[in-house]
Chains A and B, each alone.
Chain A
Amino acid sequence: MPAPNGMAVFATMLPTTLLVALAAVGGLLGWLRPGLPPSFHRWLGALALVGAAAAALVVLRGVALANGVGLAAYAGGVVADRFSTFAVLLLCGTGLLAILTSGAAEERLGPRLPAYHALILTATAGGAILAVQVEMGMLVVGLGIVVISLVGIVAMEKTAEAPGVAAFRSLVSAGVALALMLYGLAIVYGATGSTDLAAVRGQFLHSAPLEGLGLALTLLGLAYLVGAPPLHHWMLQVASASSGAVAGAVVSIAVAAGGIALVRVMVSGFSATMHPWVVVAGVLGAVACLYPALLSLVAGSVRRLIGFGACLQGGLVLSALVGSGRGGGLKPAGGVIALLFGLVVFVLAIQASFQAVARLEEDGIGGGLAGVRGLARRSPMAAVLLSLGLAGLAGLPPLAGFLVRILVASSAVAGGYAWVAVAGVAASAIYAVAVLRWIGAAYVEDDELPVVPHRTPRLASVVGLACALFGVVAMLLAGPLLYAADGAASVLR
């Protein structure tokens, strides 16, 4: 990828720089001018994210004009290509949703709202680094920024005890995950003598158990972000303890950034030809699908149910990874396409679900089964949001999560891992049963409780509903979305 280094550095880091700069501006303004209205910070954050997304598109144009493949900088440690553009657009969209729905948590965040917005921007910036990195050092930097920002976001709600505990647990889990990944990378470096992922691939020995262990530890560390066992408790804790808006922001950014990091490191870097990590990903994916799905059958609150659903999406991300190699007839198995399409769908379903939780909180409705009973009569919009969000997480048609499951199962079978497909399908069916129980309660178990007055901010409501309805739109527009995902995946082959 020959390109002038100055131009390449500018191109690869432009979205990240923009996000970090505007995060700093927003944070400083919040500190120096505390009287500024919350909407100012909201729109500043939105502007930063839209600007970063536009910058990513400009860079893509630059790539097309330069060589059509990608621009590399920092001695090949970062690259800007179609995949990074797709990833940055996804991350900016996720961050934008988090910013626009922050109104629902305004009361709990209080004067920390500017810092909350700044942390969303830095988490997105960290995700953008994960999207462009192809080297171990940059990977650790990007992951560190994402993790610390997300823990900080959870800790923003320190007025209540539960979010504080959730933040602490997230921090501990993040520390373990980072340690696992660092150990893994250190082993791989020790075995191959290089921190460049492409160079590592070239020197990898299939028979070396040490290298396999290194890859497995790296994968375990990265899987933390998508809420895969054994480091999944933080996601359940955040889903249960944080307010709906904050939990939606943290979980959706984590899943998006985690999915992107997994693709960049495991597929682009190590590649599916390095067999050991694919098997580990398959086992991890199967467990990450089945474990939360089974637990969801006994979920006592809608927050836990959504938390399990979010973990299940992480399991599907890992399941898609096993189909990232070649399928029959040397055609690509399609795992990366399914994963990228899935990330778009998962992020929106997670956001829609947590917006429903936020709405239940704002309207003073409990999150237990008793609170949800007869919701359609008491708060129709909350019922619609909740059912669409949950159906999206469960992959029930006509929402696009259904299509994602077919694509993930297809790619897993094509990649030679039919058992991973079976686990994913079984887990989805189990989770769907759990979800139907709650949706049924919302619509049919009418009680005599009074109709609830609507108190959720209009913007948060509209964004939440748009996220929920996008599940249907994504089904109709699956062709163009898959086309974009295919374009992004093509540079990784």
Chain B
Amino acid sequence: MMRGLTCASLLLFSTALGWSIISAREPRIPEAQVTYRPIQIQEGGYVSSDTCKACHPAQYEAWHGSFHRTMTQLPTTDTVRADFDGVRVTDVPGNPIDLELRENEFWAEFGDPDWKSSGAGERPRIRRQIVMLTGSHYQQVYWYRTDRTRVVGQLPATYLINERRWIPRDSALLHPPVEKPGSETGRWNAICVNCHATDGKRRFDAPADVETVGASSMTADTKVGEFGIACEACHGPAAEHARQNRNPMRRYWQYLTGKADRSAIVQPAQLNPVRSSQVCGQCHGVWEFFDQEAERKANSIGLQYRPGDELRDTRVVVQPTKNQDSPTVRAILDAYPGYLNDSFWSDGMIRVSGREYNGLIDSPCFRNATDEKHTLTCFSCHTMHKTPDDPRPIAEWADTHQVAPGMDSNGACLQCHAAIGTNVPAHTKHQPASTGSSCYNCHMPYTTYGLLRALRSHQISSPTVAASIETGRPNACNSCHLDKTLAWTSDYLERWYATPKVRLSDDEQTVAASLLSLLKGDAGQRAVAAWSMGWAPAQRVSGTGWMGVPLAMLLNDPYDAVRLIAHRSLRSLPGFDGFQSDFLAPSSERIGDTVRALDNWRRTLQPGDRRTDPALLLDAAGSPRMDAIIRLGLQRNDRPVVLRE
């Protein structure tokens, strides 16, 4: 009896155990056997962050909370920010896009972006599984399997995380309006792989000199060490370091003697300023292959730069002030004359986001530094691992661009310029606690563009009116004092800093600089000016009662990105909180939005906010001087602008 009961219990227990194990295991295909997307395979001494975590949990935790990690991810219900559960997306290419979440798989049905029209028939609809995604801070881009080896295609819509809204993929970038967006199939394999993954290898079958993106016949065996920018992107391949430190005696000897392990691993913060900045510059810089042969080599074995190496040994860092006439840059300019204009202001200052290294190396604090201790590097202000003395949660640290504690204030610059710190107003001529006394606001103004917003320039500079006139770039003074003219700025700069005056046109003397950018500037200038009108410090300094008019004008700008930014800024003005305007609407409707915005401005303007400054193109009654607005608008710089962020 007892034996029978015991056997029955054992049988029951074994069955339950087996069932538990089977049901707990997800039916997951081993990564090496995945055939329809780029895969994560560690080769060439790379081991992945999983290995690093065992000994460096704090560093792993900080990195894990950063946006570096999430540059490329696999789609899961945790990583996908958009709602895929039976959602239909309209007003985008591929219209409509039907999204579906099916047993933790993400699917989309849409018009085939790769279909080549032969004049007849409609674009066929395809149904594809989403297999990767890029971005996680402001936007997410989704990549679908094409089943042409590991080549992935890009869903023709981008998801704006904060707005919780889908927009056409092409509207997320600043470039001239396009009738029919081109195919982006293969772009991840060809371009994104370099800096949205660690140790990426394109491995296209086609020669590298053939334009691969969008080519219907391409195949690729794209492999990466790890998706996202992981530990080894900055510290180099870690297999040897991990092997050496498996010995506990070795580790405890290091702990107890305080001797840091320098073996077989790179500590970027401890490299000299040039090399440490290059670690960041490998991705945060504008660069090109030396030639097609170098590109072919990278296609098969990946980029050859390793942290600690000299970056310029393996690529050309494009720096218009230094190598505009180099054979590589000349060859690119011959093929694509707008190449430099799409990334740089005309004086060589970088104007797009994500390329901060270019700003750094052209900064006097880097270029003219006399010793390593007083040389500006990325690590002067940023930290890749939240430090123990930083009280902020990791999410907040990551959201504020991984700035080190105390480096979000004048403390950053006062590390070297300590003398100014003893009497800040004597240098800034502004109240000590005001935004005008912030080093950042004067020397790193918001003059670069990316991700549908303006960002701080990382080229340290001092404001001059001459540079504004020469390049069209807003100077720091007029980025905050939006209601002032260049003449006003020129007067103050001469009085305070003995900056020589320059000859100004009538408009430059009499019309607010921001309005000149907004009405006459190119699309990039208009986007930055529109963003500045939504920047709280500028709104406080310049007042908001006049901004409704110029922003209303931009609701009908030819560029999608400019309209979207103008609408955002408009909604930040008093009286415009719930103002609706669809930046994707046809031009005829957008004119109506402009009229409604102007009407709303008239109705909601408080008497105390009313301005009558001629520089703001307002008459004595506070009404817009439409003749002047139209006159300046007709002078708009309609050069096609493609900002390569």
Chains A and B belong together in one complex = no
